[in-house]
Amino acid sequence: MRIVMLSISHRTASVDLRERIAIAGERLAAAIDGLRSGKPLAEAVVLSTCNRTELYIARPAQDASPHDELCQFLARFSNVSMKDIASVAVIREQEEAIAHLFRVATGLESMVLGEPQILGQVKQAYEKSQQMKAAGPVLHRVFQQAISVAKQVRHESGIGEGRVSIGSVAVDFASQIFERFDDKVMVAVGAGEMAKITLKHLQALKPAKLWLTNRTRQRAEDLAARMPSVSCGVRGFDELDNLLVEADIVLTSTGAQQPIITEARFKPLIRRRRSRPIFIVDIAVPRDVEPAVGNLSNVYLYNIDDLQRVVLKTHETRSAQVDQCELMVREAARSCIAAVQHRDVGHLIRALRERLHAYAKAERERTLKRLAGTPIDDLPEAFAAAMDEHDHRLVNKILHLPLSQLDPKDANGSLAFAAEALRQLFGLDEKAADADPLPAGEGVADDEGDAPAPDAPRADKSPLGREV
């Protein structure tokens, strides 16, 4: 089988084009059907995420090269010009295609190196094809291997370790301070874009209550409306002191030019808080919280630089692991394609055996039919002649097709390749050929089995010009 992959990703295509060729929802099934239409043996998986659209197909090796066909299909399916697709598409075959899939599943091809979501998306794509019975034995093996390799590489290299966003780092710090969050109060001061992004992570902790406060109350209310998963309320900005007393986690992101939480303001609140620990994330620039607040007892203050430092460290650590991951992926792809090819060869040998046995059976029946009317006295001579003819016809039948493929006019080297293959497959060397040449005058039987009489020399010659 031939495995071919077409990929259009964030590395080659703009977000506009990626949006247009994205295949999601019900279109996914149509795409898989389209890739397999008219080709019952073909297998197909479509992986489509916000950063990439990739088509994986496996077809019998003798089929024509599907490169242009894939581009045309995607152009037609997405209603994008062929030229646009061809200019951004990356097409890989066999081991390269498998290695690419492994890299994708591991997160080596992701925009954020080593991010884990892609593995789930690869699984989903594979499962969708399985449901539609579009993933046959070849892609089944390849995708199963991809999932397993991705897990192994991530585990052994640690490329998925660490946090890559400010929000997730804040969640990590919060988890080091508090054991549970269902009894904690979270307060967000400010309702800007950064607050929205960071709160998206923090609300995953499911605090008992999330209070939002902003100088413009309406903006806080708008943000609260977008937080359906937690118990969320809006308080006036003048209640900030009370909120600081109630809060366990505080996120500040206002556009104030001066700190709004100063040491002088917070210190008296500690007694009212009964020295409960407080985790303050200050992602505003200029800062909303005076650094001296972080020195107070049971106050854990982190600003944007503290969080950013952790994110950068994660990126550095992950980048250092890329070479190791590449090696592991390469090795895994090599063994995977070997396994696929081994399976193909197994099928080939089985088919060859079946065909040869069919030849033998047909010839045997023909020979027996010829012998059936022979008088008993003539039987020994007739039997010998019939067996000679039987052997001759059988050998000719077996060799007819392979030898007819040896075209002496072939200029691209396939003749030499085929000759070498024959030499290796049948253990023929030059000396053996000289010592035991094929008898002259033996022709090749036609496919119908109407072999010439043994005594009638055939004028047929092999394409090599040599009588066989």
Angle at 136 between CA 133 and CA 137, to 5 degrees: 145
Per-residue x/- mask for another protein, residues 186 to 225, rule CB under 8 A?
----------------------------------------
Look at the block and give the residue holding tokens 């709160």. Answer: 199
For 306, counting Cβ atoms within 10 Å of its Cβ (0-12 exposed, 13-18 middle, 19+ buried), the class is middle
Instruction: Report whether 205 contacts 177 (CB < 8 A).
Output: no
Per DSSP, 451 falls in state P
Task: Tell me the two tokens of residue 309.
Answer: 């430092």
Look at the alpha carbons of 131, 137, 139, 140 in this order and tell me if their dihedral is positive or negative: positive
Is there binding between residue 317 and another protein (CB under 8 A)? Answer: yes
CA separation for the pair 333, 146 (Å, rounded): 9
Residue 198 C-beta: closest distance to another protein, Å: 15
With beta carbons less than 8 A apart as the criterion, state whether 279 and 177 touch: yes
Cα–Cα distance measured from residue 206 to residue 201, given in angstroms and rounded to the nearest whole number: 10
Shortest spacing between CB 207 and another protein, in angstroms: 14
Convert residues 26-55 into a mask of x (bound to another protein by CB under 8 A) and - (unbound): ------------------------------
309 or 355: CB nearest another protein: 309
Task: Quote the least distance from Cβ 131 to another protein, whole Å.
Answer: 36
Of 96-104, 211-219, 305-313, 385-393, the segment contacting another protein by CB under 8 A is: 305-313
Min. distance of Cβ 334 from another protein in angstroms? 26
Residue 163 in contact with residue 311, Cβ under 8 Å?
yes
The answer to the question of residue 302 lying near another protein (CB under 8 A) is yes
Window contacting another protein (CB under 8 A); options: 226-234, 303-311, 380-388, 443-451: 303-311
Count CB-CB contacts under 10 A for residue 370.
14
When binding is defined by CB under 8 A, the residue of 56, 102, 143, 173 that contacts another protein is 173
* Selected catalytic residue, list 50, 71, 325, 336: 50
Burial of residue 415, with CB atoms counted within 10 A of its CB: 0-12 exposed, 13-18 middle, 19 or more buried: middle
Instruction: Tell me whether residue 50 is one of the annotated catalytic residues.
Output: yes
Q: Of residues 249-278, which lie at the interface with another protein (CB under 8 A)? A: 270-271, 274-277
Out of 34, 136, 158, 454, point to the residue binding another protein (CB under 8 A).
158
DSSP state of 278: E
Q: Can residue 116 be called a binding residue for another protein (CB under 8 A)?
A: no
Angle between helices 137-157 and 94-106 (to 10 degrees): 50
Instruction: Report the interface residues with another protein, using CB under 8 A.
Output: 155, 158, 161-163, 169, 172-173, 175-180, 270-271, 274-277, 294, 297-298, 300, 302, 306, 309-310, 313-314, 317
* Catalytic center residues: 50
